[in-house]
């Protein structure tokens, strides 16, 4: 209890999950305080400035931008978006190119179908099926009103009605990797299109759900980019009376018998808590902040089997180019094979940020690229000395720039480097397991790990954060914060409608 007789909810981490938990805690009448190790809010949902340009690190699409969905209401409640939010005017997911030919996944599914059949008439049947199942996948909405263990029969019936066709997607595409699926297509370009965007170990339904989200107008990019969205949530939290402490890492959750009595900060201070909500990555949580014996079994299994439960990160670079440079907003292309980390990569993408004036000034626009990095790549970076690490990055900046110019010869002499970052950056900044900024990849062999939100053997710790439910990402982070508060309310036999 605090001086005002309210129960105190102590939240570890000021990312999207932590801010959401804080906002819902205050709405439920608790006292809420957030401890964040960094100097700004947002965790992985941020951006930063270099040489006068803004670099965005997160939102490629924000699931939940469609009015009328439960998730939209959660984003609105947390102040992330409002009915008046402006979104980027983007009409496609991405474009793959090969030997001078291009194929695009347009937001308009009919347009995509026609274009792909035009490219490869012999794939017509498979293309039509891909489009049909993507249409079904539009029904896949993230449950955001309450945690599933609180669902009643009515909730299941209504989900059954709303998502009647989605089981077909899971049945057909729930256990097949993108790599294997791509081989059903004759066209080499369409094979690339299927494997280009998400890691090719991902299950096909992940691509369909992502594409469907965009095609349904439910995955737009708010203007102003990621950091601004996090700052809007921080503002909402503070307006409701919340306190957030920056540059304040948490060292331990202090347990007494079956309860967390508070947290010990890295500066040595103790803060008492009635409830603790850790939102940081589950790996450091159970390796450092809590005794490892509390790690749920499913998680321990996943961390021990990286082949079945891979973690994905990226080697990313940002450049500027003159703003008359014309390209699809995200385009993937072949490159001369390049070793990045321990693996060798032969495809790359360029995303142009010209859709938002935030990224354009003095006649120049930001472009970015990311090369997917695996657990093994993470280990490669981790084993380098600081000098080797700097040298490796320097070498790759030149190699990547060379490949961009090979694909876009008009950029010769025009590419200006802004910044580059690696899986280690995410580990350093957010304590992210293997630098991963999503939950475990959903492979055909992996099981869905859905954490219950409470820990066996401890009464008052409620988990939140993107690692609590696959596939991770912003929507899971934001609903997990809300769910943690609803679980506390349920334990107190109070109304969970907040």
Ligand X SMILES: Cc1cc2nc3c(=O)[nH]c(=O)nc-3n(C[C@H](O)[C@H](O)[C@H](O)COP(=O)(O)OP(=O)(O)OC[C@H]3O[C@@H](n4cnc5c(N)ncnc54)[C@H](O)[C@@H]3O)c2cc1C
Residue 199 binding ligand X, by CB under 6 A:
no
Rounded Cα–Cα distance for residues 203 and 181 (Å)? 9
Stretch that binds ligand X, among 55-63, 84-92, 103-111, 293-301 (CB under 6 A): 55-63
- Please give the backbone phi and psi of residue 305, each rounded to the nearest 5 degrees, phi first: -135, 80
Residue 16 binding ligand X, by CB under 6 A:
yes
Residue 60 binding ligand X, by CB under 6 A:
yes
Q: Rank residues 95 and 279 by Cβ distance to ligand X and give the closer one.
A: 279
Which one of 472, 479, 482, 489 is in contact with ligand X (CB under 6 A)?
472
- Please give the backbone phi and psi of residue 307, each rounded to the nearest 5 degrees, phi first: -70, -45
Rounded Cα–Cα distance for residues 308 and 449 (Å)? 12
Residue 47 binding ligand X, by CB under 6 A:
no
Q: Within its chain, how far is the Cα of 310 from the centroid?
A: 15
Residue 36 binding ligand X, by CB under 6 A:
yes
Which one of 37, 54, 329, 347 is in contact with ligand X (CB under 6 A)?
37
Shortest Cβ 472–ligand X spacing (Å)? 5
Residue 441 binding ligand X, by CB under 6 A:
no
Which one of 24, 35, 181, 185 is in contact with ligand X (CB under 6 A)?
35
Is the distance from CB of 470 to CB of 142 less than 8 angstroms?
no
Stretch that binds ligand X, among 115-123, 148-156, 275-283, 451-459 (CB under 6 A): 275-283
Query: What is the maximum alpha-carbon separation in the chain?
Result: 72
Shortest Cβ 12–ligand X spacing (Å)? 5
Stretch that binds ligand X, among 60-68, 77-85, 97-105, 377-385 (CB under 6 A): 60-68
Q: Rank residues 184 and 288 by Cβ distance to ligand X and give the closer one.
A: 288
Stretch that binds ligand X, among 25-33, 129-137, 415-423, 474-482 (CB under 6 A): 474-482
Residue 59 binding ligand X, by CB under 6 A:
yes
Which one of 273, 372, 415, 474 is in contact with ligand X (CB under 6 A)?
474
Shortest Cβ 480–ligand X spacing (Å)? 7
Residue 212 binding ligand X, by CB under 6 A:
no
Is the distance from CB of 333 to CB of 408 less than 8 angstroms?
no
Which one of 7, 44, 126, 375 is in contact with ligand X (CB under 6 A)?
44
Work out whether strand 92-98 and strand 243-245 pair parallel, antiparallel, or are unpaired.
unpaired
Is the distance from CB of 388 to CB of 375 less than 8 angstroms?
no
C-alpha distances (whole Å) from 60 to each of 317, 357, 393, 450 are 15, 16, 24, 24
Is the distance from CB of 465 to CB of 17 less than 8 angstroms?
yes
Residue 17 binding ligand X, by CB under 6 A:
yes
Q: Which two tokens stand for residue 180?
A: 């294997």
Residue 13 binding ligand X, by CB under 6 A:
yes
Q: Rank residues 178 and 474 by Cβ distance to ligand X and give the closer one.
A: 474
Site for ligand X in 420-439 (CB under 6 A): 430-431, 437-438
Catalogue the long-range contacts made by 54-58 (C-beta closer than 8 Å, 24 or more residues apart). 54/225, 54/358, 54/359, 54/366, 55/318, 55/366, 55/368, 55/418, 55/419, 56/225, 56/226, 56/227, 56/353, 56/359, 56/366, 56/368, 57/226, 57/316, 58/226, 58/474
- Which alpha helices (H) appear in 383-432, and where do they start and end? 386-407, 423-430
Shortest Cβ 327–ligand X spacing (Å)? 19
- What ranges make up the beta strands (E) of 297-425? 313-322, 330-340, 343-352, 360-361, 364-373, 416-421
Site for ligand X in 73-102 (CB under 6 A): none
- Please give the backbone phi and psi of residue 71, each rounded to the nearest 5 degrees, phi first: -65, -35
Residue 224 binding ligand X, by CB under 6 A:
no
Shortest Cβ 289–ligand X spacing (Å)? 6
Shortest Cβ 227–ligand X spacing (Å)? 11
Shortest Cβ 4–ligand X spacing (Å)? 25
Residue 473 binding ligand X, by CB under 6 A:
yes
Residue 482 binding ligand X, by CB under 6 A:
no
Shortest Cβ 118–ligand X spacing (Å)? 29
Rounded Cα–Cα distance for residues 272 and 260 (Å)? 9
Stretch that binds ligand X, among 15-23, 99-107, 327-335, 336-344 (CB under 6 A): 15-23
Q: Rank residues 219 and 354 by Cβ distance to ligand X and give the closer one.
A: 219
Shortest Cβ 127–ligand X spacing (Å)? 26
Q: Rank residues 411 and 474 by Cβ distance to ligand X and give the closer one.
A: 474
The residues near 304 (Cβ < 8 Å, ≥ 6 apart) are: none
Site for ligand X in 351-380 (CB under 6 A): none
* Site size with ligand X, rule: CB under 6 A: 37
Site for ligand X in 227-266 (CB under 6 A): 249-250
Is the distance from CB of 230 to CB of 45 less than 8 angstroms?
yes
Query: Residue 332: which of 146, 122, 96, 107 has the closest Cα?
Result: 96
Query: Residue 278: which of 453, 31, 26 has the closest Cα?
Result: 453
Work out whether strand 92-98 and strand 47-50 pair parallel, antiparallel, or are unpaired.
unpaired
Residues that bind ligand X (CB under 6 A): 12-18, 35-38, 43-45, 57-61, 63, 249-250, 279-281, 284, 430-431, 437-438, 465-466, 472-475, 477
């Amino acid at each position: 209890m605090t001086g005002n007789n309210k129960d105190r909810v102590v939240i570890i981490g000021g990312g999207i999950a932590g801010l959401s938990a804080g906002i819902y805690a205050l709405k439920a009448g608790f006292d809420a305080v957030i401890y964040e190790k960094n100097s700004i809010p947002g965790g992985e949902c941020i951006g930063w400035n270099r040489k006068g340009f803004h670099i965005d690190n997160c939102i490629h699409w924000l699931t939940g931008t469609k009015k009328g969905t439960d998730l939209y209401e959660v984003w609105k409640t947390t102040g992330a978006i409002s009915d008046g939010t402006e979104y980027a005017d983007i009409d496609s997911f991405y474009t793959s190119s090969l030997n001078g030919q291009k194929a695009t996944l347009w937001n308009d599914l009919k347009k995509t179908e026609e274009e792909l059949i035009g490219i490869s008439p012999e794939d017509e049947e498979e293309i039509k099926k891909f489009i049909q199942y993507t249409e079904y996948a539009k029904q896949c909405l993230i449950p955001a009103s309450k945690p599933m263990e609180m669902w009643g029969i009515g909730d299941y019936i209504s989900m059954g009605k709303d998502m009647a066709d989605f089981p077909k997607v899971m049945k057909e595409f729930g256990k097949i990797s993108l790599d294997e699926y791509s081989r059903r297509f004759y066209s080499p370009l369409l094979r690339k299109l299927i494997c280009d965007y998400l890691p090719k170990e991902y299950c096909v339904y992940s691509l369909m759900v992502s594409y469907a989200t965009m095609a349904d107008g439910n995955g737009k990019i708010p203007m102003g980019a990621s950091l601004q969205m996090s700052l809007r949530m921080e503002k909402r939290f503070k307006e409701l009376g919340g306190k957030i402490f920056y540059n304040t890492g948490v060292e331990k959750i202090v347990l007494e018998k079956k309860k967390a009595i508070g947290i010990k900060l890295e500066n040595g201070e103790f803060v008492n808590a009635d409830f603790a909500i850790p939102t940081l990555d589950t790996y450091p949580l159970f390796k450092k902040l809590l005794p490892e014996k509390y790690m749920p079994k499913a998680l321990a299994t996943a961390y021990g089997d990286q082949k079945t439960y891979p973690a994905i990160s990226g080697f990313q670079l940002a450049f500027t180019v003159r703003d008359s440079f014309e390209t699809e907003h995200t385009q993937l292309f072949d490159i001369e094979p390049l070793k990045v980390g321990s693996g060798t990569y032969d495809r790359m993408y360029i995303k142009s940020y010209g859709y938002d004036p935030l990224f354009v000034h003095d006649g120049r626009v930001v472009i970015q690229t990311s090369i997917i990095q695996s657990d093994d790549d993470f280990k490669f970076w981790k084993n380098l000395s600081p000098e080797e690490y700097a040298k490796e990055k320097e070498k790759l900046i030149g190699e990547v720039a060379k490949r961009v110019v090979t694909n876009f010869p008009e950029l010769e002499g025009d590419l200006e480097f802004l910044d580059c970052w690696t899986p280690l950056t995410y580990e350093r900044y957010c304590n992210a397991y293997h630098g991963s900024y999503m939950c475990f990849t959903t492979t055909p062999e992996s099981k869905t790990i859905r954490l219950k939100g409470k820990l066996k053997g401890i009464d008052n710790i409620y988990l939140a954060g993107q690692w609590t439910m696959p596939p991770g990402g912003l929507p899971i982070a934001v609903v997990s914060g809300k769910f943690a508060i609803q679980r506390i309310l349920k334990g107190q036999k109070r109304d969970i409608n907040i």
